[in-house]
Amino acid sequence: MLKTIRMGEWFQIVVPLAWEGKTLEQIFRLVWEAPKKLTHSFRMEDKVLLNGDRANWNIPLAEGAKLQFKLFQEEELHIIPNYMEVDILYEDDHVMVVNKPPFITTHPNDPEADTTSLVNALQYYLQSSGELRNIRQIHRLDRDTSGAILFAKHVLAGAIFDRMLVKREIKRTYLALVHGLLQPKKGIINAPIGRDRHHPTKRRVSPSGQDAITHFTVLKEDKNNRQSIVKCWLDTGRTHQIRVHLSHIGHPLAGDILYGGEPVVNRQALHAAKLEFNHPFSYEKIECYAPFTDKPVIFKNIDINLI
């Protein structure tokens, strides 16, 4: 674990043994894999200090030295803050993991006209905490999907987590209530996904689509109602991936009318139950479990902490 402390607009990291001999340039480029443009701005705008002085980006660092990064300055807000209760599963100076309720969008489609998204609510939360910075969404959930979703609280964290998402270093585990009893009880769906030319928002399995891989395991079966609760995790993050893949193998989500599900529940029965990552600024292993919020209950007799 790294030794860190916030100091107003600055964030201090005590250089660990693993960083000794590396330059600041290598920390940004190789350790964090930050974008070149962002790295350049930190360098040109003197947003990094070494032991309180302007840092030389090309001199090897010594263990125990103190690096300070200017991360928390105020920004012009791009999203209109709007109050809504939010269920925060984890928060520190860099990131937030939030339990998204169903029936709201993750982000506004029109930043000026739409103020009812989760991003608007989090922008209000940040502002009310005295943090005048833009919240940065790392991934998204469909309007009807509930559960854990990750946001960054400053530009460097946003860039690092974007890269981690692409490299599959953020693990997301979902629960789905589907029609039918699956055989086999676990497996991998490897089927490319593309747009459905006959529907503006629908996706479908298509040989010309993007690679898409979904792992699944059956957790519970309701043989009387011929339904199953399935745990899924992804190697890729395509739009509607779980919905498309489970429908493709003949087991659409309950409530997911778009992909063949029956309206036996009041929404598509998909919940982002768990989110895991290694924190880039502390090296802590972060695990967040998102409690169910549906009434009536959709995922019955499931202990979310055992997923």
What pLDDT is stored for residue 255 in this prediction? 98
Domain boundary among the residues 52, 70, 88 is at 70
- Residues 85-137: pLDDT tens digits? 999 999 999 999 999 999 999 999 888 889 999 999 999 999 999 999 999 99
253: β partners: 178
Q: Is residue 154 situated within a structural domain?
A: no
Q: Please tell me the total count of domains within the chain.
A: 2
Q: Is residue 186 situated within a structural domain?
A: yes
Q: Is residue 292 situated within a structural domain?
A: no
Helices (H), ranges, 87-201: 118-128, 155-166
Q: Is residue 279 situated within a structural domain?
A: no
Question: Does the pLDDT at position 44 exceed 90?
Answer: yes
Residue 8: which CATH number? Answer: 3.10.290.10
Q: Is residue 152 situated within a structural domain?
A: no
* Catalytic residue, candidates 93, 142, 294, 303: 142
DSSP 94: S
For residue 260, what are the domain limits?
A: 172-272
What pLDDT is stored for residue 25 in this prediction? 97
Q: Is 196 one of the annotated active-site residues of the chain?
A: no
At residue 147's C-alpha, the angle toward residues 288 and 228, to 5°, is 105
Q: Is residue 30 situated within a structural domain?
A: yes
Q: Is residue 11 situated within a structural domain?
A: yes
- Residues 174-217: pLDDT tens digits? 999 999 999 999 999 999 999 999 999 999 999 999 999 999 99
How many C-alpha atoms does 262 have within 13 Å on its Cβ side? 9
Gyration radius of the chain over CA positions: 22
DSSP per residue, 187-248:
EEEE--EEE-TTSSS-EEE-TTSB--EEEEEEEEEETTTTEEEEEEEESS--TTHHHHHHHH
Q: Is residue 263 situated within a structural domain?
A: yes
Average pLDDT, the chain: 96
- Residues 212-224: pLDDT tens digits? 999 999 999 999 9
What pLDDT is stored for residue 110 in this prediction? 87
Residue 252: which CATH number? Answer: 3.30.2350.10
